[in-house]
């Protein structure tokens, strides 16, 4: 594979850096089929317990609202994980392979990963995200900031089987470090999370590593406040899914007629986000329609919270051996650095 912009930049020493067109490479891998996407969205809404797959929370407006959530007083995961990263960065970086390719899963604006690129000897950055426009911006910004690193992007959807052929198909033998921060793994059902971890393991070869952030169970009031903040940002984020559904299906949801509800289920160790119909109504869903009685709910997201023991068990079931854990003083959040089983023995 041809290296991206950094080599091109060095060919033109006398041209100011910013005038040079950067050309990070973007590969479209397994983007979904819009018809199948609409069909599964409709099927979810027609189930007795109506559901909207959480990916519909992340349109442009939803991504902006999620960015705002991450800054809220109540939403502790982002800050807590950032503090763990900052405190243990050197130690973690020293355990990572040299000349690695840093694979940023669900990269968004790349900010979390770019903090690492300063400290690890990465030769290549692979941003993976569903939002192609954002991905291009992220790669271009990264390529300007780290001119010695090759920048590649993969547009793909995590609800499909993980296929990152461009991580393997490189002219160079870069060892992958898969970076999956933010406890996004918690938004998958446990069997799906295991399947995703197994797929990640497949991409690591013998020397690759997984660096993953995972939220932990804690006092119910703390958890529920994190998902139902005083400013109502999470409520807006949740209701915004209905606008996304209106666009995708040609539906007639009125977001203001649904309330946001976030409750912790201690048995399943998960936050459940619902939209609750404030009054009885019939909603057009493109070619179909559905009646919602007052108080009936639509499930929009689960966010599983894993004890360190439970998540370590999941990692070992997925084929990881050496598992190092880093946490904060309160044990609210855990970062795991995991090596494939057998790699360090
Ligand atoms: C993206 N994900 C890890 C967030 C979470 O905490 O489960 C999504 C979120 N939903 C409401 N607030 C944040």
H, E, C per residue of the chain: CCCCHHHHHHHCCCCCHHHCCCCCEEEECCCCCHHHHHHHHHHHHHCCCEECCHHHHCCHHHHHHHHHHCCCCCCHHHHHHHHHHHHHHHHHHHCCCCCEEEEEECCCCCHHHHHHHCCCCEEEEEEEECCHHHHHHHHHHHHHHCCCCEEEEEECCCCCCCCCHHHHCCCCCCEEEEEECCCHHHHCCHHHHHHHHHHHHHHHCCCCEEEEEEECCCCHHHHHHHCCCCCCHHHHHHHHHHHHHHHHHCECCCHHHEEEEEEEECCCCEEEEEEEECCCEEEEECCEEEEECCCCEEEEEEEECCCHHHHHHHHHHCCEEEEEEEECCCCCEEEEEEEECCCCC
Residue 159 — very low, low, confident or very high, per pLDDT cuts 50/70/90? low
d(C-alpha 263, C-alpha 191), whole Å: 21
Q: What is the mean pLDDT of the chain?
A: 89
Kindly state if the Cβ of 153 falls inside 6 Å of ligand 1.
no
Kindly state if the Cβ of 5 falls inside 6 Å of ligand 1.
no
pLDDT tens figures, 199-230: 999 889 889 999 999 999 999 999 999 999 99
pLDDT tens figures, 83-103: 999 999 999 999 999 889 999
CA of 19 to the centre of ligand 1 (A): 38
Phi, psi angle pair for 56, to nearest 5°: -75, -5
Q: Which position has the higher pLDDT, 6 or 311? A: 311
Kindly state if the Cβ of 187 falls inside 6 Å of ligand 1.
yes
pLDDT at 3: 37
Handedness of CA 70, 72, 76, 81 (dihedral sign): positive
Distance of CA 285 to the CA centre of its chain: 28
Average pLDDT over residues 113-123: 92
pLDDT at 168: 59
Q: Which position has the higher pLDDT, 17 or 340? A: 340
CA of 196 to the centre of ligand 1 (A): 18
d(C-alpha 15, C-alpha 52), whole Å: 50
Kindly state if the Cβ of 37 falls inside 6 Å of ligand 1.
no
Q: Whose CA is nearest to atom 2 of ligand 1?
A: 184
Pocket test for ligand 1, best of 73, 185, 301 (most atoms within 8 A of CB): 301
Kindly state if the Cβ of 227 falls inside 6 Å of ligand 1.
yes
* Strand partners of residue 128: 105, 154
CA of 303 to the centre of ligand 1 (A): 7
| pTM check: above 0.85 | yes
Largest CA-CA distance found in the chain, in angstroms, rounded: 69
pLDDT at 6: 33
CA of 254 to the centre of ligand 1 (A): 23
Q: What percent of the chain has pLDDT over 90?
A: 71
Ligand 1 atom closest to the CA of 237, numbered from 1:
11
Q: Which position has the higher pLDDT, 181 or 32? A: 181
For residues 236 and 81, is the Cβ–Cβ distance under 8 A? no
């Amino acid at each position: 594979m041809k290296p991206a912009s950094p080599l091109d930049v060095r060919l033109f020493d006398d041209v100011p850096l910013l005038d040079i067109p950067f050309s990070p490479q973007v590969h479209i891998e397994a983007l979904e089929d819009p018809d199948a996407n609409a069909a599964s969205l409709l099927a979810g809404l027609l189930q007795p317990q109506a559901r909207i797959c959480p990916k519909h929370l992340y349109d442009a407006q939803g991504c902006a609202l999620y960015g705002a959530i991450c800054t809220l007083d109540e939403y502790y995961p982002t800050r807590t994980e950032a503090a763990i990263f900052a405190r243990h960065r050197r130690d973690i970086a020293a355990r990572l392979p040299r000349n690695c390719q840093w694979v940023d899963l669900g990269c968004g604006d790349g900010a979390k990963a770019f903090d690492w690129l300063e400290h690890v000897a990465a030769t290549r950055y692979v941003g993976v995200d569903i939002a192609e426009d954002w991905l291009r911006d992220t790669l271009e910004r990264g390529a300007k900031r780290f001119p010695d690193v090759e920048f590649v992007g993969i547009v793909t959807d995590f609800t499909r089987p993980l296929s990152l052929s461009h991580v393997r198909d490189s002219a160079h033998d870069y060892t992958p470090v898969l970076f999956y921060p933010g406890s996004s793994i918690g938004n998958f059902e446990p069997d799906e999370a295991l399947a995703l971890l197994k797929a990640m393991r497949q991409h690591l070869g013998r020397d690759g590593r997984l660096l993953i952030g995972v939220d932990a169970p804690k006092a119910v009031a703390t958890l529920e406040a994190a998902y139902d903040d005083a400013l109502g940002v999470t409520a807006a984020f949740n209701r915004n899914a209905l606008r996304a559904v209106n666009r995708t299906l040609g539906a007639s949801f009125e977001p203001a007629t649904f309330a946001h509800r976030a409750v912790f289920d201690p048995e399943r160790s998960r936050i459940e986000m619902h939209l609750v119909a404030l009054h009885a109504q019939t909603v057009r869903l493109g070619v179909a329609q559905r009646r919602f009685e007052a108080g009936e709910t639509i499930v929009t997201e689960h966010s599983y919270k894993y004890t360190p023991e439970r998540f370590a068990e999941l990692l070992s079931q997925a084929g990881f051996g050496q598992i190092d854990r880093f946490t904060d003083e309160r044990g609210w959040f855990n970062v795991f650095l995991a090596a494939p089983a057998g790699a360090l023995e």
